[in-house]
Amino acid sequence: MTKKLLLRALAGETLPTPPIWMMRQAGRYLPEYRATRAKAGDFLSLCYNSDLAAEVTLQPIRRFGFDAAILFADILLLPQALGAELWFETGEGPRLSTITRPADLGALKGKDDIHDRLAPVYETMRILARELPRETALIGFAGAPWTVASYMVAGRGTPDQGPAHALKAADRKTFSALIELLTEATIEYLSAQVVAGAEVVKLFDSWAGSLKGQDFTDFALAPAARIIAALKARHPGLPVIAFPREAGPRYVGFARATGADCVALDNSVSAEWAAANVQKDGCVQGNLDPRHMVTGGQGLVDETRRIVRAFAKGPHIFNLGHGITPDGNPDNVALMVETVREAR
């Protein structure tokens, strides 16, 4: 069987047309997703209903023919499996019980105690491995330790990750222990996803850009390197995509330093700069501004073509620079896919 396009790009092959998928491709911009979520009742119920989570994962594949599907789940399911309380406030997003003292950390479960809670996620992966088209790659994922820790310390998302930075400054020992636990638990979580059928895994460090200097090395780069090394030791040949969002100049050399097979890029860096400075080390993914999924038109076409051209001399996976927003238009997604596949 011909190797899947996404896996070929991750292996370092320069393809005539880059494979394409889209962060948050299963989501609120699709009417079929909204209908399925209504059937589930609420967001967490959807995440833990294996049949419905598989259904929403498959919906954008049926509609757009993406080259990869990514497991429908949430990065905060892992802290919940570790014993944190998790709930979602309608219209406001996730809420967590907070980890701010050694006693809070000590009350959490160990890395080997997460799997019962996460069993429905693994079942979703097994369903997808059976039901996806043969040419479509299956991606598993987890949040990177720093990003997940920032939610656990604050109890919610914050614009500047201020509470996590404050704990890091005031009690680096406790904060480092939280990162350590999350690193080990993430290895177990992603490894179980691979056993269940994931062919690729992606590590989302959505808030990596707020780490500076040694903190970036200690809390973004080093945990990613440990996770990737452990996964590759257990699952030889497993490709890993790393996304240290808004890392800016720290994108340079990130693949070499962590062992990642591909570095995903946000849209704050230009494709031309990334082609010269990041793609030289291997596959890159990205990086169309998600706003084009709202505005569409010739601007979408022109930017898509520019990005494909910029990365044409090396391995590239076409994607957005961040997830599609709920106000994205499915017609614009279809136009993007068509433009990528006609661009070269």
Give the residue ranges of DSSP H helices in the chain.
5-10, 31-40, 43-48, 50-64, 77-81, 102-106, 115-131, 145-154, 162-170, 172-196, 213-216, 222-234, 254-258, 271-277, 292-295, 297-310, 330-342
Q: Which of 33, 48, 122, 151 is catalytic?
A: 151
The three-point CA angle 158-26-121 to 5° equals 80
Contact 96, 81 (CB under 8 A): no
| pLDDT at 332 > cutoff 80 | yes
Q: What is the mean pLDDT of residues 29-42?
A: 97
pLDDT confidence tier of residue 90, bands split at 50, 70 and 90: confident
Catalytic-residue membership of 256:
no
Separation between Cα atoms, residue 315 and residue 295, nearest integer Å: 28
Q: What is the mean pLDDT of residues 329-342?
A: 98
Q: What is the per-residue pLDDT for 344?
A: 56
Among 184, 186, 210, 201, which residue's Cα sits nearest to residue 259? 201
Output phi, psi for 94, to 5 deg: -75, 150
Separation between Cα atoms, residue 241 and residue 298, nearest integer Å: 30
Catalytic-residue membership of 62:
no
| pLDDT at 1 > cutoff 70 | no
Task: Tell me how long the chain is.
Answer: 344
- Evaluated on CA atoms 216, 235, 130, 337, the torsion sign reads positive
Separation between Cα atoms, residue 15 and residue 6, nearest integer Å: 10
| Helix or strand holding residue 95 (H, E) | strand 93-96
Catalytic-residue membership of 151:
yes
Q: Which of 8, 29, 33, 37 is catalytic?
A: 37
Q: Provide the percentage of residues in the chain whose pLDDT is more than 90.
A: 97
Q: Is 57 exposed, middle or buried (0-12, 13-18, 19+ CB in 10 A)?
A: buried
Catalytic-residue membership of 344:
no
170 Cβ neighbours under 8 A, 6+ residues apart:
none
Separation between Cα atoms, residue 22 and residue 333, nearest integer Å: 9
Q: What is the per-residue pLDDT for 146?
A: 98
Q: What is the per-residue pLDDT for 92?
A: 84
Which of 208-212, 308-312, 339-343 is least confident? 339-343
Q: What is the mean pLDDT of residues 179-207?
A: 98
- Greater confidence (331 vs 1) lies with 331
Separation between Cα atoms, residue 208 and residue 323, nearest integer Å: 16
Separation between Cα atoms, residue 67 and residue 87, nearest integer Å: 32
Mean pLDDT of all residues belonging to the chain: 97
Q: What is the per-residue pLDDT for 89?
A: 85
Contact 308, 18 (CB under 8 A): yes
Question: What region does 242 belong to: left with phi over 0, alpha with psi -120 to 50, or beta?
Answer: beta
pLDDT tens sequence across 133-157: 999 999 999 999 999 999 999 999 9
Q: Which two tokens stand for residue 4?
A: 């899947």
Q: What is the per-residue pLDDT for 139?
A: 99
pLDDT confidence tier of residue 343, bands split at 50, 70 and 90: low
Q: What is the per-residue pLDDT for 170?
A: 97
pLDDT tens sequence across 316-326: 999 999 999 99
Separation between Cα atoms, residue 228 and residue 164, nearest integer Å: 24
Q: What is the per-residue pLDDT for 74?
A: 97
184 Cβ neighbours under 8 A, 6+ residues apart:
111
Contact 227, 202 (CB under 8 A): no
Q: Which of 34, 63, 74, 117 is catalytic?
A: 74
Q: What is the mean pLDDT of residues 164-190?
A: 98
Angle between helices 31-40 and 50-64 (to 10 degrees): 170
In the 8-state DSSP scheme, what is residue 20?
B
Domains of the chain in start order, with CATH, are 5-342 (3.20.20.210)
97 Cβ neighbours under 8 A, 6+ residues apart:
84, 85, 86, 104, 155
Catalytic-residue membership of 29:
no
pLDDT tens sequence across 229-285: 999 999 999 999 999 999 999 999 999 999 999 999 999 999 999 999 999 999 999
Separation between Cα atoms, residue 246 and residue 267, nearest integer Å: 8
Q: Which of 8, 24, 226, 250 is catalytic?
A: 24
